[in-house]
Amino acid sequence: MSDHSDHGFAHPQSITTLLTVFAALVFLTIVTVVQASFHLGNWEIWIALFIASLKAALVLYFFMHLGHEKPFNILVFFSTLFFLALFLGGTLSDRNAYRNQLEPDIDEPYRSEAPAEAAETAAAME
């Protein structure tokens, strides 16, 4: 695998590792596509996210060599996950408080073919 004495601080990855990881990623992509064809209802998104996270972990650990990374850099990266979780968790957990404001109350008539009608209602609104 990696030869520390020859390459100093460089840790070249073995070709076998790279190819295996790639094969695993392609396999997981196929799994996620196949999984989507089953109608699993509410579970679907969590399974899809789980598979995506598995793939992300493979990319992070091998391709981004987070395994050989300096502890501080690992801390920096995991801090982003922490803050992301804080941000998403906070915003999504109180979504019912502002749910009504996500879409406008006053909306355009949906038919674009009826411009006369639209103009009429627009005039009426003023």
> Of the candidates 7, 43, 67, 115, which one interacts with another protein according to CB under 8 A?
7
Give yes or no for residue 80 binding another protein (CB under 8 A): yes
Q: Is 12 in the site for another protein (CB under 8 A)?
A: yes
Is there a contact between 48 and 35 (Cβ–Cβ < 8 Å)? yes
121 with 106: CB under 8 angstroms?
Answer: no
The answer to whether residues 2 and 16 touch, using CB atoms and an 8 Å cutoff, is no
Q: Does 8 help bind another protein (rule: CB under 8 A)? A: yes
What burial letters (b/e) apply to 32-70, b meaning 16+ CB within 10 Å?
Answer: beeeeeeeeeeeeeeeeeebeeebeebebebeeeeeeee
Tell which phi-psi region holds residue 3, choosing left (phi > 0), alpha (psi between -120 and 50) or beta. Answer: beta
Q: Does 99 bind another protein (CB under 8 A)?
A: yes
Tell whether residue 109 is a contact of another protein (CB under 8 A): yes
Task: Determine if residue 41 is left, alpha or beta; phi over 0 gives left, psi from -120 to 50 gives alpha, anything else beta.
Answer: left
Residue 61 is a binding residue for another protein (CB under 8 A): no
Q: Which of 43, 67, 117, 119 binds another protein (CB under 8 A)?
A: 117
Q: Which residues bind another protein (CB under 8 A)?
A: 6-13, 15, 18-19, 21-22, 25-26, 29, 32-33, 36-37, 44-45, 48-49, 51-52, 55-56, 59-60, 62-64, 69-70, 72-73, 76-77, 79-81, 83-84, 87-88, 91-92, 95, 99-100, 102-114, 117, 120-121, 124-126
